[in-house]
């Protein structure tokens, strides 16, 4: 049986941990094509040797295989704390998918699997993982821990979210980002998965909440999720269509081509303002197409983790 083929056909979240592991293994096996050329499949157990460090823990066997210097990593050294934040509002369930799988993802499906993939890597590195989920309330929080029991608890929660058929309608992202920022006490790598769409139009409050995430010297990565073909390029057939706001219930009937230019101009202005604020606050902004693979997510994580000091 072709396991990879079956995975693509299967219901995505029947075994989230297994699928996340397959994604990570595929990434590691093809890592020679990425900026991390030379990273071994045992990357979770090693770190690159820096000139001036003690040579006591250099892995000479790995050097013989890769011609690169790595030092062995011990559990007490792998003390990164990483807090994942997932936007679970109604807009994250676009596009509507009856059966989530790798070829048919909505934004929430992509976010859930991306978090599971990063959790897989963090687990291998013995790092502590926390999780916050918000929508119309800040309804789930788990502090950073590294135990297997904790890992399984988070996977179970993510699986539950992915199969939600009636997500909460509205959300004020800035309200809950402020609350989450107050919860994360010790310095952490904070990773946010959201489409940056909210009920309120107050951009200043939203940007202020993003800045609050930097409180206590946290390092913040924002994965801005979107269906790029539809939500960014607004590529729809030019026939009469009803466009429904899933959070407010408001709708409008129109031809897509009649509003496409104005829509893209307004969207571009919002995105540019968001990118500018993230740069100003030293937040890593990553535009993320849910129809792409997870390589950008994993590469970004590895770079940010390496820069976390």
Three-class SS of residue 220? strand
Where is average pLDDT lowest: 41-55, 174-188, 220-234, 247-261?
41-55
- Output DSSP code: residue 104: B
Contact present, 17 and 105 (Cβ < 8 Å): no
Q: What share of the chain is helix, strand, coil (3-state, %, to 5)?
A: 45, 20, 35
Share of the chain above pLDDT 70, in %: 84
Following DSSP, what letter does each residue of 157-189 receive, concatenated?
A: HHHHHHT-SS--S---HHHHHHHHHHH--S--E
DSSP state of 10: S
Cα separation, 11 vs 99, whole angstroms: 6
Q: Which residue has the tokens 């991306």?
A: 114
On the question of pLDDT at 211 being above 90, the answer is: yes
- Written as six digits, the tokens of 164 are 């939600």
Q: What is the spatial distance between Cα 260 and Cα 265, in angstroms, rounded to a whole number?
A: 9
Per-residue confidence (pLDDT) for residue 215, from 0 to 100: 87
Determine contact, residues 19/116, Cβ cutoff 8 Å. yes
| 3-17, 74-88, 294-308, range with the lowest pLDDT | 3-17
| CA 277 to chain centroid | 19
Q: What is the pTM of this model?
A: 0.80
Q: What digits encode the pLDDT tens for the residues 272-302?
A: 999 999 999 999 999 999 999 899 999 999 8
Phi, psi for residue 23 in degrees, rounded to 5: -65, -45
Per-residue pLDDT of 127-169, as tens digits, reads 999 999 998 889 999 999 999 999 999 999 998 888 777 776 6
């Amino acid at each position: 049986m072709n396991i990879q083929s079956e995975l693509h056909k299967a219901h995505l979240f029947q075994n989230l941990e297994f699928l996340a592991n397959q994604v990570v293994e595929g990434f590691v096996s093809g890592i020679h094509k990425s900026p991390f050329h030379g990273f071994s499949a045992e990357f979770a157990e090693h770190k690159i040797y820096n000139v001036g460090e003690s040579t006591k823990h250099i892995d000479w066997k790995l050097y013989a295989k890769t011609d690169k210097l790595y030092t062995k990593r011990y559990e007490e050294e792998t003390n990164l704390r990483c807090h994942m934040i997932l936007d679970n509002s109604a807009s994250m369930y676009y596009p509507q998918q009856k059966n989530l799988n790798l070829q048919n993802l909505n934004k929430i499906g992509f976010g859930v699997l991306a978090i599971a993939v990063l959790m897989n890597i963090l687990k291998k590195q013995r790092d502590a993982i926390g999780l916050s989920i918000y929508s119309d309330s800040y309804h789930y929080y788990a502090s950073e821990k590294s135990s297997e029991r904790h890992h399984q608890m988070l996977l179970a929660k993510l699986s539950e979210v992915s199969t939600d058929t009636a997500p909460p309608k509205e959300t004020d992202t800035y309200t809950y980002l402020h609350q989450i920022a107050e919860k994360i006490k010790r310095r952490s790598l904070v990773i946010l998965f959201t489409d940056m769409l909210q009920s309120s139009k107050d951009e200043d409050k939203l940007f202020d909440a993003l800045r609050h995430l930097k409180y206590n010297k946290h390092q913040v990565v924002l994965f801005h999720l979107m269906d790029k073909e539809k939500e960014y390029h607004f590529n729809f057939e030019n026939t009469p269509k009803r466009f429904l706001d899933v959070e407010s219930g408001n709708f409008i009937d129109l031809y897509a081509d009649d509003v496409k230019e104005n829509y893209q101009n307004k969207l571009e202005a919002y995105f540019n303002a968001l990118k500018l604020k993230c740069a100003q606050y030293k937040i890593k902004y990553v535009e993320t197409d849910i129809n792409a693979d997870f390589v950008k997510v994993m590469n970004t994580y590895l770079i940010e983790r390496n820069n976390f000091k």
